[in-house]
Structure 1
Amino acid sequence: MDYTAAPLEKLIEEFGKFQGVGRKGATRMAYQVLSMSDKDAAALADAIRGAHTRLHRCRICQNFTDAELCPVCASAKRDTSVICVVEKPRDVQAFERTREYNGLYHVLHGLLDPLAGVGAEQLTVKELLARLKDDTVKEVIMAMNPTVEGEATAMYLAKLIKPLGIRVTRLASGLPVGASLEYADETTLYRALSGRGEL
């Protein structure tokens, strides 16, 4: 018999819908909310409601914004000749934290995954191709995770973009800092070798 009060169970159920959050994690989060003051709980609810109602996709890059254009697309200081294609909006934040990239972005909102029923129509491929129609963009960087789906998506997009005369590159990937060569797989070592640079 379950002795959890219905409102608490509902809260646990909702937190459990988050990707990567199991029953234990959802329960921990629910009890954390219950330990908040009324003011803090209301602020959390308002933040969730505000994000859900005020944020939408940028007209150009498809990243989330509360204006017509996101800050990157609206900036006159960005290099408009390079577009970095990423899977998710939070990938943009990861690149921006490095402060090393000054081009534009395009968010796909997923990867090709035929087994899960995700094709090019479910992604923002059409919007990406529309951005390449004039001669402004000279390079498109494929910055997807090196998974089967990421590789398939990068190859699919490269086949569509290369005929337009635009350079298509991918992120160099290889050994993380502190990794041991003996434990690296062949693909990682190959990428580390082929993506090597001068010292």
Structure 2
Amino acid sequence: MEGGGDDIQALITLMARLPGLGPRSARRIVLSLIRRRDTQMVQLAQLLDRVAVNSRECLSCGNVTDRDICPICADPARATGEICVVEDVADLWALERGRAFRGRYHVLGGTLSALDEIGPEDLGIPRLISRIHEDGVTEVILALNATVDGQTTAHYIADALEGSEVAVTGLAQGVPIGGELDYLDDGTISAALRARRRL
């Protein structure tokens, strides 16, 4: 047990439970915060308190926000007729980092899973379908993980939209930029071959 007192040790233990942090990283972060308590620790504590009180799901897409409608859904420039369907908020944030997509999103909050008894209603898929029809969406991009449950969910949504005027597309899968074939798994190579295009 390190010195420093019960509260400091409790803070280290709590920080070590965060994703991507272990005990050593947590100790370094806590020590850094204590050394900069006036400039960092107090601000961090205040911000954590505000986020704990104010954070919620966007009523439209399910993104995490501090207001009823997130800035993406509130931005009129993003009303492009395209909705990108993702499994989790982390996936939405990853796509936003790339700045390649300028439409709107819909966060499912998981994937269909018979084993875990997760059905369409548990994921709000009926809400997605009604949102697509109400908002005049012209294209639905299914950006779901390439797992069995992710692909099952994608097929379910595509089937639910069959016969509508909405184009249903998926992300390309295959060889990443800078990737070497020798280091790729068999599934990635197969997906790359199926998605090949003329040069």
| TM-score (norm: length of structure 2) | 0.81
Deviates more, 1:168-177 or 1:134-143: 134-143
How far apart are residue 41 of structure 1 and its match?
Answer: 0.6
SS in 2 for 1:33: helix
Change (3 A) 1:177 1:164: same
SS in 2 for 1:84: strand
How far apart are residue 48 of structure 1 and its match?
Answer: 1.2
Is it true that 1:111 corresponds to 2:111 in the alignment? Answer: yes
CA distance in 1, matches of 2:40, 2:146: 40
Q: Deviations over 1:162-181 (max 9, x none)?
A: 35553322100111122111
Partner residue in 2 for 1:152: 152
Change (3 A) 1:95 1:46: same
Change (3 A) 1:159 1:17: farther
The answer to whether the Cα contact below 8 Å between 1:80 and 1:136 also exists between their aligned partners in 2 is no
Partner residue in 2 for 1:99: 99
Q: Deviations over 1:33-59 (max 9, x none)?
A: 223223421100111112222222222
CA distance in 1, matches of 2:114, 2:27: 33
Q: Deviations over 1:78-121 (max 9, x none)?
A: 24422101122233333233333222111123334555665545
Is it true that 1:58 corresponds to 2:58 in the alignment? Answer: yes
CA distance in 2, matches of 1:34, 1:25: 14
Partner residue in 1 for 2:127: 127
How far apart are residue 20 of structure 1 and its match?
Answer: 3.8
SS in 1 for 2:52: helix
Partner residue in 2 for 1:87: 87
The answer to whether the Cα contact below 8 Å between 1:140 and 1:169 also exists between their aligned partners in 2 is yes
Gaps of 5+ in 1: none
Gaps of 5+ in 2: none
Partner residue in 1 for 2:171: 171
| TM-score (norm: length of structure 1) | 0.81
Code of the aligned partner of 1:146: A
How far apart are residue 124 of structure 1 and its match?
Answer: 3.5
SS in 2 for 1:158: helix
SS in 1 for 2:17: coil
CA distance in 2, matches of 1:69, 1:22: 35
Partner residue in 2 for 1:186: 186
Change (3 A) 1:140 1:74: same
Code of the aligned partner of 2:127: E
Code of the aligned partner of 1:62: G
Change (3 A) 1:182 1:72: same
